[in-house]
Amino acid sequence: MASGFFALLDDIAVLMDDVAAMSKVATKKTAGILGDDLAVNAEKASGFVSSREIPVLWAITKGSALNKLIILPIAFLLSAFLPVAVTIILLLGGVYLAFEGAEKIYEWIFPHAAPEIDIPSRELTEDEIVAHEKEKIKSAIVTDFILSVEIVIIALSAVVTEPILNQILVVTVVAIVATIGVYGIVAAIVRMDDLGARLIRNSGDTGIINGIGKFLVAALPWIVKSLSVIGTIALLLVAGGIFVHELHFIHDLLHGLPSIVAEALTGLVVGFVALSLYKLLKFLFFKKTSSTDH
């Protein structure tokens, strides 16, 4: 009996070692999406009154956790009964990621004119502030859902040939790490300027502490912008990597190039093709709508 118990413990230890190793590989594959997720959520969680930043971020975090609770069982069922669907979703997600990366580059090159903003002539009421918060929270959770699908599918694709128990454990670990890690870092980022302001107040406007406080306040917008650039590059690399590894003809075509160059090139091409088709369809739809109105 005792030997059987210790054998069971040994099997569990081996399983945990395997899960840890596979989780590391899967997390590495999702790193690009996590970078974009971090940049997007840092942007969406900022712009609130200081006292409301953490409550808003907590609401988004709970929404993100609920998203993953919905996505994970569906992903595991597809992996068990229709594994080809995982590849199809992965490729479709690759197109979306490449499109998003290409669209950001396009907007950097050809920025939109700043929309006119109606500045209210009075202060917002408490109900209006709550409504605004709920709208931003809802928008952030919807965006998180799309990114969570990609995180789960990319993590699942890394272990799709493993037994279903290993898949469940690995992808669940990645989902938990993604949620806690991303939103923990976002919380630190959005509160960075408040910490800086407190250090400035407590330093008496002199000394090293004052300098650190000013640095934290000044660095926040640069960090958010940097995350946006890094996230865009990561989007294209992740998308390109999906196509290079899943479609053999692309891999054979670009096998002579360094992998990072092949992935970046593939991501750019797929992204700008998708963006061009989107703009063409949008133009045709707008033209059709205009002609119908007249």
204 contacts: CB under 8 Å, gap ≥ 6: 210
Is residue 279 within 8 Å of residue 248, measured between CB atoms? no
- CB distance 33 to 154 below 8 Å: yes
**31 Cβ partners below 8 Å, 6+ apart?**
234, 238
Residue 8 pLDDT exceeds 50:
no
Higher confidence at residue 123 or residue 152? 152
**CA 203, 207, 209, 213: dihedral to nearest 10 degrees?**
80
pTM above 0.75, yes or no: no
CA–CA separation, 157 and 150 (whole Å): 10
Assess whether pLDDT exceeds 50 at residue 35.
yes
CA–CA gap between residue 17 and residue 71 (Å, rounded): 25
Q: Going by C-beta distance under 8 Å and a sequence separation of 6 or more, which residues neighbour residue 133?
A: 48, 52, 56
Model pLDDT for residues 42-87, shown as the tens digit of each residue: 666 666 666 677 788 888 889 889 999 999 999 888 888 888 888 8
pLDDT at res. 100: 85
Report the range of poorest mean pLDDT among 92-101, 121-130, 180-189. Answer: 121-130
Q: How far is the C-alpha of 209 from the C-alpha of 198, rounded, in Å? A: 10
Nearest to 244 by CA among 268, 277, 274, 228: 268
Amino acid identity for residue 173 in this structure: V
Alpha carbons 206 and 214: distance in angstroms, whole number: 11
Minimal CA–CA distance to 42: which of 239, 225, 177?
A: 225
**Mean pLDDT in residue range 194-208:** 78
| Kind plus residue range of the DSSP H or E element containing 197 | helix 192-203
Share of the chain above pLDDT 90, in %: 10
Q: How far is CA 94 from the centre of its chain?
A: 13
| Mean pLDDT calculated for residue range 215-242 | 81
Specify the higher pLDDT residue, 254 or 228: 254
What single-letter amino acid sits at 54? I
Q: Is the pLDDT of residue 208 over 50?
A: yes
218: buried, middle or exposed (CB in 10 Å: 19+, 13-18, 0-12)? exposed
pLDDT at 21 over 50: yes
> Which stretch, 57-71, 134-148, 217-231, has highest mean pLDDT?
57-71
pLDDT band at residue 202, thresholds of 50, 70 and 90?
confident
Q: Which range among 41-50, 95-104, 268-277 shows the weakest confidence by mean pLDDT?
A: 41-50
Query: Contact at 8 Å (CB) between 29 and 158?
Result: yes
Structure tokens at 58: 């907590």
Written as one string, the DSSP assignment of 207-259 is: HHHHHHHHHHHHHHHHHHHHHHHHHHHHHHHHHHHHHHHH-HHHHHHSTTS-H
Tokens of residue 254, six digits: 């670009």
Measured CA distances, 224 to 18, 186, 204 (Å): 36, 10, 28
